[in-house]
Structure 1
């Protein structure tokens, strides 16, 4: 396998490159996501491993050295494909000064896959992106999609409509972005980390400008009571951000809001809708899990939880990596959280 940095022409056509990957592309491997992370201090590197497109983020760390991170990648669909790329990727990373490569391919978790990843000398790492999710099949008709939803979700959608909730697709103006962020901050309540306002504002505006994203508000009268942002890339859509007021003046408004996101995503060509981020299937009843509340909401659409293998590190320079794992990562993430109250990754 030949690994090299992508040419300027390939980078200009990057999203088409990742859509040609075996996994049919992932939002977090897109050029738009790379630009957003660059604004937050990460350096995007566009790499071609034969025909496999890899967007690799890099950042220097306090304990010394450079960490590489492939968000939701490499874009493979089985361990055989992953095994074929790792040896040359390790050599390439060493040549360019990385002490480790953090990967999180969307491979389904099971004991055998976990064993194979260990055999590849990959080290299980702290989770960066959510390791579990709920997926909704958008290939059927809207009537069939509605019929396939759990009864709780169907009832909530209908009740919200009866009680006067309305949903509108809105533009990501400064005022709308700020309103969304207010709701998002209240929803997080220190249970999980969020980025600063500027990060989300850039994200929502950039995805909308690229024709990939749409912001939605749910209203009770003239009051915004819930917000959601959907993104489509290729045949996949993602419910990336969502929030609601605590009081919930209209039961089911968030369900109705999500139903509008689903309809929009299907119109844009999505065949599978990712609700993005729930507790693992064996922890769905654990109220101490930071994703318990939003997980309960998302599972009301589909009880089945899809578990991925999660985040692994490929060690390139052992001594530097050991410093990172012993104290560097903990100090970096902890200091960043205390100073800025946001995720470092």
Structure 2
């Protein structure tokens, strides 16, 4: 078992290496995400190597939190295909001589059929603890874009097909202009406020959108209910290679906008398919086993997203404690203090 820093050659082709990980590609493991989280979080590009298994190229973010040391975070990673490979990566972290981590927050890409899979993985790793999920993509809806459009449409639930047919007069625009940034923020902010969901600042979200737009990987899909109408629904979509992602969305609550988000998603899928994507990630849902739990923060999205397909689950976020004494003080005192100090800039800390 080996955990090492990526070589200069690996760093120069990092995104392509991440795209080939055994657990599949992931946006939050790319250099672009590290740049989004800088300068608060710094990046370490590390490689897990194990005999008989493909290498795992893992982006670890870390921040110094004096006097405790370094807190590490592997967003939506490491990208492994099964629990045994995940455990091997966790052991690498226990033996690492890189940096001074006292704890590592992990989001391994291990499939889960129920909460027992998460519980079993945590119980099987010394020092592993529960942690609330940080990224919504742990549980998501994946739409297969490989069939023809009629077959894809037929795979949706009746609710989605009905709304798509009902909005056939809608005018849908694929845009990256400055006005589109402002329009999308209005739709997104109003939707998040209506749902009571905590969000980061306008600068943060628009900064993310701009980074992907500038990289040629992101654009806005905006919809008007009819020719000459106002934009009343929209989404920010990211596309890289064989994957399309629904990153953010929003709509007004008006009579005309009813069902318009279904049209937005369908046109986003069609665009991604036409540009080479074979999978469309709806990005973010409750766990499939909690889909009926009305107290779950993502429950309002269930009816909408599952109209396009079933929920796919991973084991979720967990935390590996490497220095128990340091961690106890951090957990009881340090983390609450740091949260208060950074709340204005980032209410979510991570």
TM-score (norm 1): 0.91
Find the partner of 2:302 among 295, 304, 314. Answer: 295
Measured against aligned partners, the alpha-carbon deviations of 1:136-169 in whole angstroms (never above 9, x if no partner) come to 11121111111101111011011011xx321110
Counting only pairs closer than 5 Å after superposition, residues 82-121 of structure 1 correspond to structure 2 as: 82-92=86-96, 95-109=98-112, 110=114, 111-112=116-117, 114-121=119-126
- 1:113 is displaced (CA, Å) by 5.2
Using the alignment, how far apart are the partners of 2:197 and 2:218 within structure 1? 23
Using the alignment, how far apart are the partners of 2:346 and 2:19 within structure 1? 34
The yes-or-no answer on 1:218 pairing with 2:223 is yes
The yes-or-no answer on 1:315 pairing with 2:327 is no
**8 Å contact from structure 2 (residues 139, 285) kept in 1:** yes
Partner of 1:261: 268
The yes-or-no answer on 1:166 pairing with 2:171 is yes
Using the alignment, how far apart are the partners of 2:314 and 2:64 within structure 1? 28
Using the alignment, how far apart are the partners of 1:225 and 1:45 within structure 2? 41
Using the alignment, how far apart are the partners of 1:319 and 1:234 within structure 2? 45
**8 Å contact from structure 1 (residues 138, 270) kept in 2:** yes
**8 Å contact from structure 2 (residues 87, 125) kept in 1:** yes
TM-score (norm 2): 0.89
Partner of 2:36: 36
**8 Å contact from structure 2 (residues 14, 31) kept in 1:** yes
- 1:233 is displaced (CA, Å) by 3.1
**8 Å contact from structure 2 (residues 68, 102) kept in 1:** no
Instruction: Decide whether aligned partners of structure 1 residues 329 and 269 sit closer, same or farther in structure 2, where only a CA change above 3 A counts.
Output: farther
Aligned length: 338
- 1:95 is displaced (CA, Å) by 4.0
Using the alignment, how far apart are the partners of 1:23 and 1:234 within structure 2? 16
Partner of 2:46: 47
Partner of 1:13: 13
Unaligned runs of 5+ in 2: 50-54
Using the alignment, how far apart are the partners of 2:90 and 2:250 within structure 1? 38
Counting only pairs closer than 5 Å after superposition, residues 74-153 of structure 1 correspond to structure 2 as: 74-92=78-96, 95-109=98-112, 110=114, 111-112=116-117, 114-121=119-126, 122-130=128-136, 131-153=138-160
Instruction: Decide whether aligned partners of structure 1 residues 223 and 83 sit closer, same or farther in structure 2, where only a CA change above 3 A counts.
Output: same
CA RMSD of the aligned region, Å? 2.1
Instruction: List structure 1 segments (4+ residues) > 6 angstroms apart after TM superposition.
Output: none
Please state whether the residue corresponding to 1:134 is helix, strand or coil.
strand
Using the alignment, how far apart are the partners of 1:62 and 1:177 within structure 2? 38
- 1:236 is displaced (CA, Å) by 2.5
Partner of 2:183: 179
**8 Å contact from structure 1 (residues 244, 254) kept in 2:** yes
Instruction: Decide whether aligned partners of structure 1 residues 334 and 219 sit closer, same or farther in structure 2, where only a CA change above 3 A counts.
Output: farther
Unaligned runs of 5+ in 1: none
Find the partner of 1:66 among 47, 66, 70. Answer: 70
